[in-house]
Chain A
Amino acid sequence: MIEVRELTKQYRDTVAVRDLSFEVPPGVVTGFLGPNGSGKSTTMRMIMGLDRPDHGSVSINGRSYRDLAHPLREVGALLEAKAIHPGRSAYRHLQYLAETNGISRGRVEEVLDMVGLSDVARRRVGKFSLGMGQRLGIAAALLGDPGVLLFDEPINGLDPEGILWVRNLLKGLAAEGRSVFVSSHLMSEMALTADRLVVIGRGALISEGTVDDFIADTAGTYVRVRGPRISEMTEVLEREGASVVDDGDDAIAVHGLDAAAIGELAAAAQLVLHELSPQTASLEEAFMSLTRDSVEYHGRTTDVPVPTAK
C-alpha cells in the first residue's frame, strides 16, 4: 500500500508536481497515466525517497521510505532502463543490491531466471539491448520479493513478446496481493493492464478510480444517429434537452439520451433513421480529452493556474 498525500515538488520556477494525493492499494494494478513531462517520474522518485518533496508526504505500508529497515524487501522499483554500470555484469549488479539488504545469492539466481537473463547474467550490461536492460531492471525490482512494486514505463524497448510478458507479470504480481504501480504515457497499454487509474496532467491529479469509472465519467457514452432528415431530428432531440454534435455524413452524436429514448422520439416524429448505435468512448479518447489542456500547456508559459479535480 502506497499513500501519497499532498505531494508538491518545484524545480526552480517550474512546478513538477502539485498537491498530488492518491493511493496504490494491494491486490490490483494501478496505472499511473499522464502525458510526457506531467510529473510521473518525479512522483515515483519521491515515493522512492530519491527526491525530497517540497510539501506533503508518502507512506509505504504506513511508514516513510527512509524508515524502512530493508527497503528492497518492501518496495521494488524499475525507475530507469539501464541505470546500471555498463562494465558490470547483470549478476554482479544484483549481487551488490542483494548484499545491501541481506538477500541471499540464491534469490539473485532466481530472479535472473524469472526474467530470462540467466544465460547472459555474466555478460557486461553495456552489451545488453534496451529490452534486456528493462528485464534486468525488473529483476532488480523483484529481488527482495517486495509487497509494493513500482514500474516506470516498463514496456519501453520491449518486443511484442516482452510486452506480453510484462503485462502478465504485472497482473500476476497483483494477483498475489501486491500493490503494483505502473506508469505509462500509453493509454492503450493501461487499458490492457491496469485495474485502477491515477491520471495526472501538469503535475496535478486529474482522475483517480477504476478504469471503467474513468471511461464513463470522462468522455461518457453517446449515441450515433444517422438519417436522411437529420436536421429535423436534431431539433426534436434538442427540444428534449439532449446535446447534439455534428458527426459528419448526415450523422449526429447525441449525449444525454439513450438509444431507446431516441428511437421513441424518432418514431413519434415519424422520422426515418438509418443508424441508431450506442458508442463507448475508448480509453484513449477519454485520456486525450482529459489531458488535452495539459499537453497544450507545455508549449506555452508556466504560470497559468492548474485546474485540479476531475
Chain B
Amino acid sequence: MTTLTIHPTHTSSAPAGRSHLLRAEWTKLRTVRSTWWTLFAMAVVTLGVAAIAGATVSHNWHSFTIIQRATFDPTGITLKGLLFSQLIIGVLGVLVMSAEYGTGTIRSTLAATPRRARVLGAKAALVGTLSLVVGEVLSFGAFFLGQGLLRAPAPHALLSQPGVLRAVAGGGVVIGLLGLLALGIAAIIRHSAGAITTYVGLLLVVPIILQTLPSSFSQPILKFMPFHISDVMTSVVTAGQGTSLSPWAGAGVLALYALAALGLGGYLLVRRDA
C-alpha cells in the first residue's frame, strides 16, 4: 500500500476560527439576490410609509379632532412602516437558515463545520448585526424623512425631546431582535414556507385571534405580542399605560423570544440528522 502523499501547499495553515466562519456566512448571505431584495423592500415600505404619513397628516391636520391632536405622536406615526419591515426581516432571517435546507447546501455547510452550534452562532451574529444596522438606518431615515414632511400647524418631533431618541433607536432594535427570532424559528422548522408562516402567524395572526377573545383573558397576553411591544417601543405617546409593558421591558421580552428560538433551534440542529 502506498503511503499518503498529500501536498498541503494549496492550503493555508491558518486555523479556521470564528472569523473565518463569519466571513463564510457573510459570503453566503451577500451572494444571493434574496438578501438584497428583502433589504430593498424594507427600505421602500419603511421610508414610503414615513413619507406618506408626514404628507397626509400635514394635509389633514385641520380635520383632526381635539383628542386626535392631543394624542398625536409625530415620532410614532413616521415609524409605522417598520411594522412591514418586521415582517420582511423575518423572511430574511428565515431564509438564511431554511434556504440551506431547501437547496441541500446545509450538508456542505455542516460537513465543512461539524461543530454545528458554531454555524448557528455565526449566522446569528451576522443576521443580528445586519438587521440591527439596517433597522437603525431605516428607523432614523424614516424619522427624519417624516419630520421633514410634517408641516405646521401639525407638530413635529426632535431627537432631543423626551422619549424620541429612545423610540427611534428602539425601532432598529425591534428589527434586529425579530431577525434573530426568525432565524431561530427557521432552525427549528427548517422549511422556508413553514418557518415564514409560523413567524407571520406569531406576529399577525395570534394577536387577531386574541382580540376575538374576552378582553379579561386577552389583555394580559396581548402586551407580550411582538407587534404590541414594537408599537410601544417606537412610540413616544402611549395610550393605555397599564395594559402595556414598558419599552425596555418589551425589548427584554423580544430578546428572550429570540434567545429561546435560537436556543431550541441550536439544540435541534446539533441533535438532528442533517
- Number of cross-chain contacts by CB at 8 Å: 138
Question: Which A residues are CB-close (under 8 A) to B105?
Answer: 83-85, 93
| Residue of A69, A88, A146, A147 most packed against chain B (CB within 10 A) | A88
Answer yes or no: A116 CB below 8 A from chain B CBs.
no
Answer yes or no: A50 CB below 8 A from chain B CBs.
yes
Answer yes or no: B215 CB below 8 A from chain A CBs.
no
Number of interface residues of A (CB under 8 A): 53
| Residue of B6, B11, B21 most packed against chain A (CB within 10 A) | B11
Question: CB-CB contacts of A184-215 with B at 8 A, as 1s and 0s?
Answer: 00000000000000000000000000000000
Which of A103-111, A238-246, A280-288 lies at the interface with chain B? A103-111
Question: Which B residues are CB-close (under 8 A) to A52?
Answer: 271, 273
Question: Which A residues are CB-close (under 8 A) to B113?
Answer: 71, 100
Contact A103 B103 (CB under 8 A): no
Contact B34 A26 (CB under 8 A): no
Answer yes or no: A255 CB below 8 A from chain B CBs.
no
Complex Cα–Cα for A15 and B23 (A): 40
Which of A73-81, A163-171, A226-234, A267-275 lies at the interface with chain B? A73-81
Contact A83 B11 (CB under 8 A): no
User: Smallest CB-CB separation from B24: which chain A residue?
Assistant: A99
Complex Cα–Cα for A46 and B236 (A): 55
Which of B12-20, B140-148, B166-174 lies at the interface with chain A? B12-20
Contact B114 A96 (CB under 8 A): no
Q: How large is the interface on B (under 10, 10 to 19, 20 to 34, 35 or more residues)?
A: 35 or more
Among A48, A65, A66, A177, contact of B5 (Cβ-Cβ < 8 Å): A177
Given contacts A49-B111, A80-B107, contact A100 B31 (CB under 8 A): no
Complex Cα–Cα for A27 and B3 (A): 7
Question: CB-CB contacts of A89-121 with B at 8 A, as 1s and 0s?
Answer: 100110111011111101100100000000000
Among A25, A66, A88, A178, contact of B32 (Cβ-Cβ < 8 Å): A88
Given contacts A50-B111, A87-B32, contact A96 B27 (CB under 8 A): yes
Contact B274 A50 (CB under 8 A): yes
Minimum distance in angstroms from B105 CB to a CB of chain A: 5
Contact B28 A110 (CB under 8 A): no
Question: Which B residues are CB-close (under 8 A) to A87?
Answer: 32-34
Answer yes or no: A154 CB below 8 A from chain B CBs.
no
Minimum distance in angstroms from A138 CB to a CB of chain B: 13
User: Smallest CB-CB separation from B31: which chain A residue?
Assistant: A92
Minimum distance in angstroms from A100 CB to a CB of chain B: 4
The 5 closest A-B pairs by CB, nearest first: A83-B104, A99-B24, A92-B31, A27-B2, A96-B27
- With contacts A72-B112, A144-B11 known, what are 6 further pairs, Cβ within 8 A? A48-B107, A73-B11, A75-B111, A80-B104, A97-B112, A101-B16
Please list 17 pairs of residues, one from A and one from B, whose beta carbons are closer than 8 Å in the complex, sorted by A's number: A25-B1, A27-B2, A28-B1, A65-B114, A66-B115, A71-B111, A71-B112, A72-B111, A83-B103, A87-B32, A92-B28, A97-B24, A101-B112, A103-B12, A104-B10, A175-B2, A177-B4
What residues make up the interface of B, taking CB atoms closer than 8 Å to A? 1-8, 10-16, 20-21, 23-25, 27-28, 31-34, 99-100, 103-105, 107-115, 271, 273-274
